[in-house]
Every structure is written in C-alpha cells, then in structure tokens.
Chain A
C-alpha cells in the first residue's frame, strides 16, 4: 500500500475542518480502506472528541516525534471501524513542538501501511499550517459560502501553490439551500468562480452534524443523513469514482432564476 496524504485546511477557523477530516476518514474507512487521521492542531486538539476517541488517548503526536513512544503505540484504533486509526495531538504543548520535517518523516513511516493519511490542519497560516502541509500529496480546502471564509480559502490556496504542493480540492461546507435560493448566501458557483480550483464536495447544512459531533459519532457513520451522504460521495470521488453532486444550489426554477437576477451586487 502507498498512502495518499490528504491535508485538510481552511485558513479561517470554525468552517468545519475537523468535522470534515473526521467524516472523510470515517467514510473512507467504511469503504474498507485503511485510514489514519493525524490531528496537527497541537494545543487545541478536537479530532479525538469528534471521533469519540478522547478517553482512549495514551500517547500523542508529540510523544512520537520526541521518541517517548513508538508510532504504533500512539495510533488509537476505532472500535466501530477497525480500519480507522487516530494519532491525536498533544494538548499541553504548542505548534512549535513539531517541525515540518517531523511530519514528513511520520507520514513516510505510515505510507506503506495504510491507504489514506488524513491530516487535520489547525486554523491560521503559521507553523501549524506549515507542519500539516509539509507531507501533503493533496490539499483539501474547506470553506463556507461566506465572503470571509472564501477570502481565507483563497489565501490558503495561494500559499499551497507557492509551496508547489497539491493538487488542491475544494469542499464547500454548510451550504443552506434555502438561503441560496433566497439569494442570501453565496452559491457554489460564486465560490468556485473566485477560487478556480476543482470542487470535490458540497456539504449541506445539517443539524445531524452538530448532534453527532457532540456524541462523538461522526455523521458519516449514518449515510442516511444528507451530510453523511455528502461525505460518502467525497470519499468515492477521492477513490476516482464519478459521482454527481447533490442538487443543492437552489437555482432551478423560475424563482431561483429571478432571485439571482434581482440580487444586488450580482454579476
């Protein structure tokens, strides 16, 4: 096996990086592939909570890097999905505890053993981002259909291009079809027109995401939910399948067309 290292990034905080990382990992693992998630948000770890593995942490990323344990010992196996592992971040340290080269070494060590390595990147463009980017084969940029999130996504894509990493794929998270329909929210097309990168998924706003995250049961575990389906679709696209996008953009019909024409500041 030769793993693909996918770094999930966004620039702006709170757009759903960690939720996306967790659900992508779950969806890939449910398709029978071996997945390791690495939480690179040292000092502000969350991925363990979303995955519901918080109470099983013994060793973390910094312990591996500083040689206090072997890599294997820090990999927490998910009991629901035996193909899913988590390497949690340290909570008592900060980003400077790990260097980009440490991350490259770590990823290289894992590469032969798994299919996917998903790295959850911290918000910001500082050291933590550099760490998460260093080993990436692919960068997934998560954004919301909001001007500020899109602006930061643009910055991140620029930085990824400058480092000659990539390819970059885009996930638009928390799309509210009703709001798009009313013209109160950027539509996927508006976001794509600006960012000009390949779209790999649109996640609809779904209350199940919050509920499931609080319970430590990622929404992708239940593919019947709309968000769950969206994450499974992304996993299939990552595996090279052609999956049509869910119809969410609300531009169908006369009303949608009208609101788009009337919307101020529209093109």
Chain B
C-alpha cells in the first residue's frame, strides 16, 4: 500500500500472524500509517500477532518500543522484528522481541489450504481452553478441544462441539438456525442459545455426562451425547 506521503507499508497474513514489511520513508510516517490502517479495521487486527520486516533500516529502541506500545494499546502484539541490520536486531532483542529468521514464516512455506471443503460444512478448530474474556466468533461450526471457562464466549453460525467442560456462554445457529446443536462433555453453561432461543437447562445431580442440546420440531431437546445408533 502506498500513501500520498510516499511511505510504503505492506501488511499480509502469514502462517504465524501478520507480516508487515516496511519500505522507504520516515519512521514516524510509517508508524502513523500503520496505526491508522489498524484503526481503520480495529476488529480485524484485534489480538493479532505481528512480525515486522524492516529490511536494512536501523531502528532505535525508543521507536520500536513506541510502536510496540501503540500496537499493544490496540491489542496487537508485536512479537518479532526481522532485519538485516545487526544494530536493529540487537535493539529488538533488548526489547524482548524475536529476531530469528526461522521463527518467522518464510514466504515459500506459506501453505495454501486445499480446496476440499463441502458446501456449508466449514468449521473452525480451537485447540485450547477458552478462558474468561476470550471470544470465538465464526459463521461456521466451532469445535473446541478444551474447556470453555465462565466469562468466555462462542458465537457460531453453525453447531458448537466442546470436547471439555462448557461453563461459559455459547450461541449456536446464528446462520443455520434450528439445525444447530451444542454438544459438550460436561454441560454446565452460564448461558446457551440456539437460533436466538435462550435455553435453560434443568438442574442435574451426579457425575456429568456428555450431552447434546438442540431443537427438533420446534422443541428444545437435551439428550446424552453418544455415538449414533443407526
């Protein structure tokens, strides 16, 4: 992207997050341009990990620190700086940023996803516990291997499958409606909703069982979640 001022700044998605390559121009203008691009699409950048490729430019600690903090204010993590200048590399290290080439994705290694998806069968896979304050919002199905802690939130277009304890808030079927289900090994949510219907679970005792919640013929059902007998 080129602005009128002549600073060049390229942002692209890579395996490990976002790669920002900067070209010519004053550092202050580059910083301003980067921040304004992030501010324009703050939701998209929120939570991103950013690698900065500065080429052979010498960047001072104060400048890099300021960028890091400005990014941090926008919930963007600057985690690595790539540079061919040893001075810049050292500066980055002092600030606790990664500089090694192998920790940064090389261009050739960026893999293209294989086109094998069935229509309407996209899902995202989250392999970690979602702690309080974390959100997963997707138009697809959401599969989580890990717990959903109280205060965490999932909003899925399709179904939600939790291989763990569900204790946070889950909304399923924002796209596909009644066809969505919510499954968890332990169903103890703060709130669950399917197709905008609030679902209240009955009080249960004893050892938790895997359960599935859904809507069938307009009726909410809660049943044990087990292999389908066909």
Q: Are A151 and B150 in contact (CB under 8 A)?
A: yes
B129 within 8 A of A: yes
A 131-172 binary contact with B (CB < 8 Å = 1; else 0): 000110000000000000001101101110111100000000
Q: Verify A100–B132 contact, CB threshold 8 A.
A: no
Among B72, B94, B133, B167, find the residue whose CB has the most chain A CB atoms closer than 10 A: B133
* Partner pick for B94 among A105, A159, A161, CB 8 A cutoff: A105
Residue of B nearest to A104 (CB): B96
Chain A: interface secondary structure? helix
Q: Which residues of B contact A155 (CB under 8 A)?
A: 131-133, 151
Closest residue of chain B to A153, judged by CB?
A: B132
Rounded to whole angstroms, the CA-CA distance of A130 and B129 in the bound complex is 22
Query: Which residue in chain B gives the minimum CB-CB distance to A159?
Result: B133
Q: How far is the CA of A152 from the CA of B132 in the complex (A)?
A: 7
B96 touches A194 (CB 8 A): no
Chain B 131-150 interface 0/1 with A at a Cβ cutoff of 8 Å (1 = within): 11110000000000001011
Contacts of B6 in A (CB 8 A): none
Contact of B151 among A151, A162, A267 (CB under 8 A): A151
Give Cα A155–Cα B132 distance, bound, in whole angstroms.
Answer: 5
- B187 adjacent to chain A (CB < 8 Å): no
Category for how many chain B residues contact A = 20 to 34
Minimum distance in angstroms from B167 CB to a CB of chain A: 8
Contact: B96 with A134, CB < 8 Å?
A: yes
Partner of B131, one of A158, A163, A164: A158
- From residue A131, how far is it (CB to closest CB) to chain B in Å? 10
Cα-based distance from A130 to B74 in the complex (angstroms): 13
Which among A105, A155, A158, A162 has the highest number of chain B CB atoms within 10 Å? A158
Cβ-defined contact, B150 with A130, below 8 A:
no
Known contacts A99-B69, A130-B72, A155-B151; decide if A104 and B95 are in contact (CB<8 Å).
yes
Q: What A residues does B68 contact at CB under 8 A?
A: 100-101
B69 contacts which of A100, A151, A162, A194 (Cβ < 8 Å)?
A100
Contact, CB under 8 Å: B147 / A196: yes
Of all chain A residues, which has the CB nearest B66?
A99
- Apart from A104-B96, A162-B47, 12 more pairs, CB < 8 Å: A100-B68, A101-B68, A101-B95, A101-B96, A104-B94, A104-B95, A154-B131, A155-B151, A158-B132, A161-B131, A194-B150, A196-B147
